[in-house]
Structure 1
Amino acid sequence: MHASSKRRVAALALGAVGVVYGDIGTSPLYTLKEVFGPHGVPASHDNVLGALSLVFWSLILVVSVKYLLFIMRADNKGEGGIMALMALAQRSARDLPRLRLAIAVLGIFGAALFYGDGVITPAISVLSAVEGLKVAAPHLEHYVVPITVGVILALGWVQKRGTARIGAVFGPVCAVWFVSIAALGVLGIARHPTVLYALLPTYGVEFFTHNHAEAFFALGAVVLAVTGTEALYADMGHFGKGPIRLAWFNFVLPALVLNYFGQGALILHDPGAIANPFYHLVPRALLYPMIALATAATVIASQAVISGAFSMTREAMQLGYVPRMQVVHTSHEMSGQVFVPWINRSLLVLIVLAVVGFRSSDNLGSAYGIAVTGTMVITTLLALIVARRQWGWSVPAVIVVGVGLLTVDLGFFSANIIKIESGGWFPLALGLVVFGLMTTWRRGRELVVREIQQGGLAIAPFIVNMIEHPPVRVAGTAVFLTGNANTVPHALLHNLKHNKVLHERNVLLTVETLDTPLADVEEQLEWEALEGGFGRLLLRFGFAEDPDVPARLARAARVGVAFDMMDTTFFVSRESIVAGTRRPGMALWREKLFVLMARNAMPATAFFRIPGNRLIELGAQVEI
């Protein structure tokens, strides 16, 4: 490898340290505290070694083996994340409609749970960091929640500036964080080196045989050590597999293991440290600097999770699962760095409510885990479908790998299910609400398209009629946006009916979103010339692209049709949707919900970046 390539990989690995590993890197703030906390297991010698063994082997099996070695193989043209994985799995099951439906349901629910994680992660991370004040100065305890809310509000405000501007400090700050927690871990291990025996998996097995049901409950806290693993996969397109793996195995994993074992050694030395083993591990003189560093690290981790929600929203929008909304690009170099104002405001309100409502990381620990582990199970199932249908794995190989991975995932998920009553209902409720919204929007759009197609005229006989009975023709090009180029667009019929004219050239334009992140050059445009000055133009965009119609039309000359924007007029039908009819569709409340969402969605013309001075909108009523 050339020196320049090595420097580039090193730079990407440093960036991955800040963006990809911010969440999992701040887990030591609260994981062992939850394992041995008020609802945890007693901090005996065997329990400490057993819990550390479970944490260590969870990092190895879940992060190293499952995500870095297996899941990251399922890249959708270099892109990752649950929406990209869902699209990849659906593409591999095109000939099986029922399997495609099951994949869609799994993917949507996994994405919905990710939004729940996007609320809980910033709340528990920042709250855990600020709670260091209770160790440094107990009399400041009542300031913890207000300071946390202030940090969260500042985080929401800085989001609009984008990862591009504040990303320059992500890597270095998190690098200092990992070096610091590793050094603290070494200090703790030096006090009680026998803690290293916990590297043996036998201690984890004995933890279950000795504690029985209590060990299962503790597993719900151990899973906190592997939260943030979805970021490894979701950010694959930004950094690449190599740099992400390099950062993990050579830097992040050793630092985490050292800190966890240092905390364990401290608990063995001083059982009273279980109140907050992370901060009790810090020398008294360094407490306030460590609180500041921890707060910065958790803000970075939270920013990465929220940014992931922005990216996933854009993908879901393109795939037709959420209404169109404003997307702001925050980087000229990386298209994946986006800001979605509506999502930012919604998450900000929910995060603040979580902090004010739960008031401590201990309480939030009970709510944390269900969304994460649910997404982990779904990711495994989708990846197994890809392995069988696309990679050509044999059925026995899929069963062996699937049983191994799902045993771990379902173990964690089951351990968190029992926390529903004590707070786990919160992210689950959020996920169910988002799932309901996404499925309602998807089904509603299908019903609208169905009604438009059923009431449409076939284009072929219409063109014949225009040739036999030609209307008045005017100069220029008319572009009619339509979801079905085989029928006459409502806007064309209304224009002909009311204005009594037809343009010299009439283009039926259809925009299609692919199940790949980027459309290849040869599939971006498809032109079919018809008789009578008509033609069909198909524009294809990947789900990670912005559908800029004028920019794509500027390249249409290579398929045999050129556009002069000053001589082109766009015609669009704006549907006025009527709910509550007796037509078969959705429940009445879902129809009304869909109408509300449609009214507040960003207009298609703005979404497709069609200039307002070249646009004519004609209304059409659609009953569902």
Structure 2
Amino acid sequence: MIVLATGVVYGDIGTSPLYTLKEVFSPHYGLALNHDSVLGILSLIFWSLIWVVTLKYITFVMRADNQGEGGIMALTALARRAAQGSPRLATTLVLLGLFGAALFYGDSMITPAVSVLSAVEGLELAFDGLEAWVVPIALVILVGIFAIQKRGTATIGKFFGPVMVLWFTTLGALGVYGIVQQPEVLKAFNPYWAVEFFAANPVKGFIVLGAAVLALTGAEALYADMGHFGRKPIARAWLLLVLPGLVLNYFGQGALLLADPSAVRNPFYLLAPEWLLLPMIGLSTLATVIASQAVITGAFSMTRQAIQLGYIPRMQIQHTSSQEQGQIYIPLMNWALMLGVIFLILTFQSSANLAEAYGVAVTGTMLITSCLVSAVILLLWKWPRWIMVPLLIGFLLVDVLYFSANAPKIFSGGSFPVIAGIVIFILLTTWKRGRQLVVERLDDGALPLPIFISSIRAQPPFRAKGTAVFLTARTDVVPHAMLHNLLHNQVLHEQVVLLTVRYEDRPRVSRGERMEVEDFGDGFYRVVLHYGFMDEPDIPLALSHCPYPGLDFTPMRTTYFLSRETVIASKRLGMAPWRENLFVFLMKNANGNLRFFKLPVNRVIELGTQVEI
């Protein structure tokens, strides 16, 4: 399990040595490359890995699991539960979580681009005149990564773990090779050098934090992928293999810079002996492919969670494994990410330029995670405040420093993840608010269920044989599809089931808790199906396990009735006109209930209605 966790979880942070020190000492930061600055930067990176990754994520954040599931959406659900007593605080935390999720999508585009570019740039050292081919080669590799997503990771996933174990072992070995030649770098374990560095370079030291944070990229993946492996294998892999490999390699690169400052053009590859350069380029490229695969898969998983929680329109979701429920493929998301990555590669052209955009998304997500986990620890778990408040303030202070150092990048290359995050945040909130408005408008003319049943008893219509299942978001009113059916066809089925699907703020719901049934008499039933945000909704399958006697859901005797709302933007109070038109567009292009709930095509009747918002 530790090997598998290494392959999936640590691909992103494991490829950070490819570009971190090269970016820290790049000319535009103006940092002098001397003995004290090298030791100061190494000390800063080491203690950042200890404080942010080991203490914050491994020790605390990963305890905030939502029934074993992690990630920003799962944490948002926990934080909302923690703030139930304060609607305003709950709303604020949810909005924070949504913006963190939006930044994660930006990260999902930047990570493959910067990682693969960094690996391929090693060819410039191995062969003269290949500079012009770096971008085309990187594009071919990245397009290939997205093209094979539909095949799933079940076949190639078993190779990820061993490759990444080899990668971290190689990182550590190269680091030892460099340290042996310059043991002076081992002094950087002393935090004095980090403090001395900031004392001597207060302004440049703060600015260079924007580059040093690249060593922490991928820390969020530890939490996001916790549901696949559990906390203990991820923590053990970090402490036993990943952290030692990273620290040794950073120190090895630092030793090389002390011996040969000109190696700053690419200290990662120049650390390797010349005979090992080409194998390292190949291994680095494979490692970056794995890192890209992991973050793309994470985007798929988070998209499904957001769909279940009602923040994203329903999309086509394909399962790529018959054994593993979490291995999914979302075509629309895959091609959208690919277009974003291609745009980044063509726009920024190099890993150094892309690194400018990288830090904003990473530090923004880390800061939001600290805010959400603070709410969970203090309000939900109610841990002793005299211990936790100072520690949480320390986490927030470090995150704020890193984010503040990256904030100026927003006005240069770093504007991309912010713009992407804002656009995605608008889409998330517009869809959620638009769906609420549709339900409110439909409720305006809704007929209360008890009144309808009483009128049916007084004047019974013709009852056709079989079971009619009407999907409805409300449990106390008559679905519009049922009213239209009765009005136009003058008929009701022998058994009429009003079916509502509800999503809980937990990952999964057991079969025993799946279904609630209420019998109104005269063949009318209310059924509520409960799903978690990681569950795959399958209405026919759930109904086939109905324990209520007398309810017959035989496939060829059951007909599903759906309401298809045609939304029309209007001047009624609701959202801004541009957001209403955006919601109308999203509504037209969203997948319907038929595919999403796995309803049989030949047993579904759709009845439409117009709704003004």
Q: TM-score range by the shorter chain?
A: over 0.9
Name the CA shift for 1:524/1:560 in 2 (closer, same or farther; >3 Å). Answer: farther
Alignment partner, residue 619 of structure 1? 608
Corresponding residue to 2:517 among 506, 509, 527 = 527
Q: For 1:582, which of 571, 586, 591 is the aligned residue?
A: 571
- Tell me the secondary structure at the aligned position of residue 551 of structure 1: helix
Contact 2:151 2:320 survives alignment (8 Å): yes
Write the distance in 2 (CA, Å) between the matches of 1:394 and 1:243: 28
1:178 counterpart residue number: 168
Deviates more, 1:609-618 or 1:36-45: 36-45
What secondary structure, in the 3-state scheme, does the structure 2 residue paired with 1:557 have? coil
What's the CA shift for 1:136? 1.3
Cα distance in structure 2, aligned partners of 1:400 and 1:562: 59
Match of 1:367 in 2: 357
Distance in 1 separating the partners of 2:412 and 2:93: 31
Q: Does 1:25 align with 2:4?
A: no
Note the alpha carbon deviations across 1:343-381, whole angstroms, 9 max, x for none: 100000110110111001111111111111101011111
* Cα distance change on mapping 1:287 and 1:562 into 2, 3 Å: same
CA change 1:216–1:172 in 2 (3 A) is same
Match of 1:142 among 125, 128, 132: 132
Q: For 2:530 and 2:410, locate their aligned partners in 1 and report how far apart those are by CA, in whole Å.
A: 43
Question: SS of 1:170's equivalent?
Answer: helix
1:382 aligns with 2:382: no
- Per the TM alignment, residue 95 of structure 1 is displaced from its structure 2 partner at its CA by 2.6
Query: After the TM superposition, which parts of structure 1 deviate over 3 Å for at least 4 consecutive aligned residues?
Result: 394-398, 558-562
Of the candidates 277, 280, 284, which is equivalent to residue 274 of structure 2? 284
Taking the TM superposition and a 5 Å limit, the aligned residue runs for 1:106-255 are 106-255=96-245
Structure 1 residues 564 and 303: CA distance shift in structure 2, 3 A: same
Distance (whole Å) between structure 2 residues aligned to residue 80 and residue 163 of structure 1: 20
- Quote the residue 2:254 is aligned against: 264
AA paired with 2:459?
A: H
Conserved in 1, the CA contact under 8 Å of 2:517 and 2:548?
no
Shift of 1:176: 1.1
Identify the residue that residue 597 of structure 2 maps to in structure 1: 608
**Is contact 1:527-1:561 (8 Å) kept?**
no
Unaligned runs of 5+ in 1: 1-11
Q: Residues of 1 paired with 2:407 and 2:181: CA distance?
A: 37
User: Matches of 1:195 and 1:312 in 2, distance apart?
Assistant: 41
Residues 73, 559 of structure 1: CA spacing in aligned structure 2 closer, same or farther, 3 A cutoff? farther
Offset at residue 250 of structure 1 (A): 0.4
Corresponding residue for residue 9 of structure 1: none
Structure 2 Cα separation of the partners of residues 207 and 335 of structure 1 = 49
Give yes or no for the alignment of 1:468 onto 2:422: no
Cα offset, 1:72, TM superposition: 0.4
C-alpha contact (below 8 Å) 1:155/1:303 kept by paired residues: yes
How many angstroms apart in 2 are the aligned matches of 1:182 and 1:528?
62
Structure 2, gaps ≥5 residues long? none
Partner residue in 1 for 2:387: 397
Q: Deviations over 1:137-173 (max 9, x none)?
A: 2311111000000010011111111121210110111
- Kindly state the Cα deviation for residue 115 of structure 1 after the two structures are TM-superposed: 0.3
Aligned to 1:445: 435
Q: Name 1:594's counterpart in structure 2.
A: 583
Distance in 2 (alpha carbons) for counterparts of 1:559 and 1:500: 28
Match of 2:333 in 1: 343
2:83 to 84, 93, 108: 93
CA contact (8 A) 1:526 1:559 kept: no
Partner of 1:552: 542
Aligned-pair distance for 1:560?
6.7
- 2:26 maps to 1:37: yes
Contact 1:440 1:590 in 2 (8 A): yes
* 1:497-546 superposed Cα distances (whole Å, 9 cap, x missing partner): 00001111101000001100001333210000002211100001100011
CA contact (8 A) 1:182 1:258 kept: yes
CA distance in 2, matches of 1:559, 1:430: 52
Distance in 2, Cα, partners of 1:319 & 1:219? 36
How far 1:395 moved relative to its partner?
A: 3.6
- Alpha-carbon distance in structure 2 between the residues aligned to 1:85 and 1:332: 28
Q: Alignment partner of 2:155: what SS?
A: helix
Distance in 2, matches of 1:86 and 1:289, equals 43
Contact 1:525 1:559 in 2 (8 A): no
Shift in Å, 1:559 = 7.4
Matched position secondary structure for 2:28: coil
Equivalent of residue 455 in structure 1, options 437, 445, 458? 445
Q: 1:82-134 CA deviation, whole Å, 9 max, x = no partner? A: 00000111122223211211111011000000001001111100000000011
* Residue type of the alignment partner of 2:488: H
Asked if the contact 1:463/1:531 (under 8 Å) is kept, the reply is no
Distance 1:113 1:559, change over 3 A: farther
1:528 counterpart letter in structure 2: E
Amino acid at match of 1:608: F
Aligned match of 1:303 in 293, 297, 314? 293
Partner AA of 2:413 in structure 1: G
2:495 paired with 1:495: no
Task: Please tell me whether the aligned partners of residues 527 and 559 of structure 1 are also in contact (alpha carbons under 8 angstroms).
Answer: no
Matches of 1:94 and 1:559, distance apart in 2: 37
Q: Structure 1 residues 113-122 or 135-144, which shifts more?
A: 135-144
The one-letter code sitting in structure 1 at the alignment partner of 2:528 is L
Q: 1:183 to 1:146 in 2, by over 3 A?
A: same
Output one character per residue of 1:11-40: Cα deviation in whole Å (capped at 9) or x when no partner: x11011111000000000000001111223
CA RMSD of aligned residues (A): 1.0
TM-score by length of 2: 0.99
Aligned AA for 1:421? Answer: F
Deviates more, 1:338-347 or 1:555-564: 555-564
What amino acid is the match of 2:397? Answer: T
For 1:426, the equivalent position in structure 2 comes to 416
Structure 1 residue 441, shift from structure 2 partner: 0.4
Post-superposition offset of 1:421: 2.2
- 1:163-216 deviation line (CA, Å, top 9, x unaligned): 212101101111111111111111100110010000011101111111111111
2:302 to 305, 312, 334: 312
1:334 aligns with 2:324: yes
Which amino acid is 1:92 matched to? A
Letter in 2 for 1:587: A
Percentage of pairs with the same residue: 56
Could you report, residue by residue, the CA deviation over 1:471-514 in whole angstroms, capped at 9, with x for unpaired residues? 11111111000001211100100000000011111010000011
For 2:599, give the aligned amino acid. I
Mapped partners of 1:427, 1:604: distance in 2: 32
Partner SS, residue 152 of structure 2? helix
Separation in 1, partners of 2:348, 2:339: 14
Q: Write the distance in 1 (CA, Å) between the matches of 2:387 and 2:446.
A: 49
Contact 1:130 1:147 in 2 (8 A): yes
Normalised by the size of structure 1, how large is the TM-score? 0.97
Question: How many residues get paired?
Answer: 612
CA offsets per residue over residues 443-465 of structure 1, 9 Å max, x none? 00000011111210000011000
Q: CA deviation at 1:61?
A: 0.6
Residue 279 of structure 1 and its aligned partner are, at CA, apart by 0.7
Shift of residue 558 of structure 1?
5.3
